[in-house]
Structure 1
């Protein structure tokens, strides 16, 4: 019996139509995954600049209330920004993640 559609099927746990439909779903899901941080531009230069920014100013520059844990791109990488120090500012997680890819 097929474990998905419950039709009688003598071999394996799924009939052929259910098995191929599952393979198609897995392939589509794999195509829509987010690229790695390295592929998106967060490389060694970014990590060095981030460490320097957070060491110089440990408070979020957006809300000035919470400790900074991330370095926010003023002009996002997806909009042509760079990982240079002048394009980064300290930010707490909630402030940085709420901005999305908008320029400051």
Structure 2
């Protein structure tokens, strides 16, 4: 039995480089990258608590799953157009979601209708300029026509996050073309 003197991982034989040390280095590198990414967000566009709570009063329930806020353990500040995809870190780009729905949505561009839980809605007008940067090629209608037929009636529990993102993008580009 071989024990690495640096990470104290046990192996049947001596291996160079040690897989345990490599895993530790990878975890540290990912954590450092995530920390840098968090600190790179625009500090001038930080959202105040009162702005989020003011926004929350317009939503009776979680717009994704429909749970009442009193039954939700934690309310997450979800960016409609994710910051990682070029969206602004401002209150106008937020929608409140329960924590499980926020994790399910991940970094997708999904705007939920606040009146009908689980149903997608077109992006608000002020977010349409960010759509070009976040999803290049969306404005070419051929991408939607060549893809599998899109059922615009799909809702949260039955649809995947990718399907709901496609519906949101489709509704948003159709809305933008009307203007």
- With the length of structure 1 as denominator, give the TM-score of the two structures: 0.62
Matched, 1:53 2:85: no
- Unaligned residue ranges in structure 1 (runs of 5+): 8-16
Whole-angstrom CA distance in 2 between matches of 1:85 and 1:53: 8
* CA deviation map 1:25-68 (0-9, x unaligned): 32123223361373363968135343443355463122332316
Alignment of 1:1-104 (within 5 A): 2-3=2-3, 4-5=10-11, 17=14, 21=18, 22-33=20-31, 35-36=34-35, 38-39=38-39, 41=41, 45-48=46-49, 49-54=51-56, 57=59, 59-67=61-69, 69-104=75-110
Whole-angstrom CA distance in 1 between matches of 2:68 and 2:42: 23
Whole-angstrom CA distance in 2 between matches of 1:41 and 1:2: 44
In terms of mean alpha carbon deviation, does 19-28 or 38-47 score higher?
A: 38-47
> What's the Cα RMSD here?
3.3
Whole-angstrom CA distance in 2 between matches of 1:19 and 1:46: 48
Larger radius of gyration: 1
The count of corresponding residues between Structure 1 and Structure 2 is: 95
Whole-angstrom CA distance in 2 between matches of 1:20 and 1:35: 25
Whole-angstrom CA distance in 2 between matches of 1:72 and 1:60: 11
- With the length of structure 2 as denominator, give the TM-score of the two structures: 0.40
